[in-house]
Chains A and B, each alone.
Chain A
């Protein structure tokens, strides 16, 4: 029976798309678990590192490292952490919107902006949107290594030391839970002292061996660890967002198939009814 041949083909093609999306969902789910583990593993270190650097920012050190001095802002730098691949819902777009909003705030104050882009999606977006790109890394993979990131982070740090940028921000997604990821803009440099601390009076560390060398090493390590951690966290966000996006796609495909199946069944029934009534009326014409 030739009824609804187009509909059948359509249903089949949607079904094969559904197979792909549901497979991608499962892959993303298992990758998310791994990415989440990776994120949890690095968390204590980066958190303690942040605590320590917070203490340093609160102290009154004998040696003022360039990273601790607030300067008049003429240029700012952004490190934008995005994904390499698409099909992960609004994850990247939300992040870029937040970035553009933050950039606009500075641009309104006549501040120039330099970008350091991590991930292919950011590179593609800011190529179209415009912006002065100082450094870019892509293809960081699922298990990012610090070595891949150090180069471009160093470009930004060097620019900061050379006073080419006066502030450095890090934009990345925060993994709240597998259902929610939030874009977050965070100031890396200069270090911000938090005022909630109890040690208000003038104090300083004993430095061993030497304040300058020690702070240099520690602060560079701090920035690297923060960037690395946010890249790892963004990886977990990517998989979570992809899992959700693919789940929605699979569900939508299911609905579409149901609708089409209904249309197909109706058409088939109408054809049968018509055929029957033709036979019946034919028979009636002969017998009468």
Chain B
């Protein structure tokens, strides 16, 4: 049997997931990162992107996280998300709309243009779409 660790995913609004996982893959600041049993203690920030977990028994689930922190302790991984969604709940049309809007804002900059906000919106929408793609690929394969 594969060794498992306890995983908690919470957002400011709710507890998204709590249970044993075989592996967790999150999008950290410096790139995608996998955590399995026995990982060294680690603290990192997350950027908007998918979090994939392999639950005990091999079942996979994908969540979308809009940034936050990940903490790895010997027996437990905690994801403190600013906002998190089950990937199923991500609204593809809305994400695509937000992406277009952000791109539009970035290309047609006006006087009171907030670059930081627009690029954050773009990153978030792109990450949501990437999460959906990833989930779909997996569904197609499985």
Contacts and interface: CB of A to CB of B under 8 A. Distances in A.
A52 interface: yes
Interface string B61-89: 00000000101011000101000000000
Interface in B13-58: 13-15, 28-30, 33, 40-45
Contacts of A55: 41, 71, 73
Given A52-B80, A214-B45, A208 B11 contact: no
Contacts of A221: 69, 80
Contacts of A41: 13-14
- What secondary structure prevails in chain B residues at the interface with A? strand
Nearest to A40: B14
Interface residues of A, number: 24
Interface in A193-221: 199, 203-209, 214, 217-218, 221
Contacts of B33: 208
A52 B78 contact: yes
- What secondary structure prevails in chain A residues at the interface with B? helix
B124 interface: no
B48 to A, nearest CB: 15
B14 A208 contact: no
B41 A52 contact: no
Contacts of A42: 12-13
Contact of B11 (A45, A51, A217): A45
Nearest to A208: B44
B43 A51 contact: no
A206 B41 contact: yes
B122 interface: no
B132 interface: no
A204 B30 contact: no
Contacts of A44: 8, 10, 14-15
Nearest to A213: B45
Chain A CB count within 10 A is highest, among B8, B42, B43, B73, for B43
A45 B80 contact: yes
A51 B78 CA distance: 9
Interface in A10-57: 41-42, 44-45, 48-49, 51-52, 55-56
Contacts of B8: 44, 48
Given A45-B11, A48-B8, A48-B10, A206 B40 contact: yes
A284 B33 CA distance: 110
B42 A208 contact: yes
Contacts of B78: 48, 51-52
24 contacts: A41-B13, A42-B12, A42-B13, A45-B13, A48-B78, A49-B80, A52-B69, A52-B71, A52-B80, A55-B73, A56-B43, A203-B41, A207-B42, A207-B43, A207-B44, A208-B30, A208-B42, A208-B44, A209-B29, A214-B43, A214-B45, A217-B69, A218-B43, A225-B12
Q: Across chains A and B, which 8 residue pairs bring their CB atoms closest together, nearest first?
A: A208-B44, A44-B15, A205-B43, A206-B42, A44-B10, A52-B71, A205-B41, A45-B10
Interface of B: 8, 10-15, 28-30, 33, 40-45, 69, 71, 73-74, 78, 80
